[in-house]
Amino acid sequence: MKPAFVSELAPAGPLAQGREFIWTQADFSRVQGLIYQRAGISLHDGKHAMVYSRLSRRLRETGYSSFAEYLTWLEQHDGGEWQEFVNALTTNLTAFFREQHHFEIFSDYLGSRPQGAPWRVWCNAASTGEEPYSIVITAFETLGSNAAFELVASDIDSRVLATAAQGMYRIENLKGLSPERMHKFFLRGKGANAGLARVKPELARAIEFISVNLIRDDWPFREPFDVVFCRNVMIYFDAPTQRRVLERIHRVLKPGGMLFVGHAENFSESRDLFTLRGKTVYERR
């Protein structure tokens, strides 16, 4: 392992104080460029501390003693560390039935079609699973557990996607769910699993978990969707990237299909693609 070195660009101010690794503006700028190229994420200058904290773990794991060396090695290879790099820099804030009004609108939309009609839905920020399971719970409550309902749940972060597929949660993280929903859709752990709950098999069977990078043009979908949940994802993209992703969502969403976005996201400049139908809910033109 090579010893850490002080770059000519190392700042004299707080960025260099009390750090395990030398952290320069040049390092941060390189990270900004790499994560934008790989995942479309635009890191603003206020993310210095977050990026240092998360990527310093990768330096420890890989044995590199400086960000400059680690980033150079990353640029020269195309292996599994790229996924770890992306995983480290993605944010996975989620909860069951977050933004409750969306699920009420979704339920009304599900009930607007003839009974027995098939449904195909995509949740493209699955994170650790709370959102996709909330979607399926809403569908089962509205249509019945035997409904022709299919959900594709994707994320760019492989670790949270694996957690989502397991469908196991701490009881304290489920306190927002009613006793009725807990009884109907979850199995409480016993013994070594006390304090945990797992989603019931019929809930899990309705979901296909896959990895999808929204900025790549290789989405693996052959059939269009009736509904797309793309919530609190676009806030990490700049305007040109947002537009490209919206155009691709438009292509995989049926005419008249619904797009649910995050509470801080507004796509009024894409009226040629979507029409606003409610609070952060759009209809595909």
Pairing status of strand 207-211 against strand 253-261: unpaired
Angstrom distance (rounded) from CA 149 to CA 6: 57
SS3 of residue 190 by DSSP: coil
Q: Give the active site residue among 54, 98, 181, 243.
A: 54
Active-site residue (options: 155, 157, 226, 284): 155
Q: Distance between the two ends of the chain, CA-based, in angstroms?
A: 57
* Angle (nearest 5°) at CA 12 between 8 and 18: 110
Integer Cα distance of 92 and 128 in angstroms: 7
Residue among 249, 259, 223, 248 nearest 150 (CA): 223
Annotation says 45 is catalytic: no
Side chain identity at residue 255, one-letter code? P
Catalytic residue status for 54: yes
DSSP label of 77: -
d(CA 49, CA 47): 6
Supply the residues annotated as catalytic: 54, 155
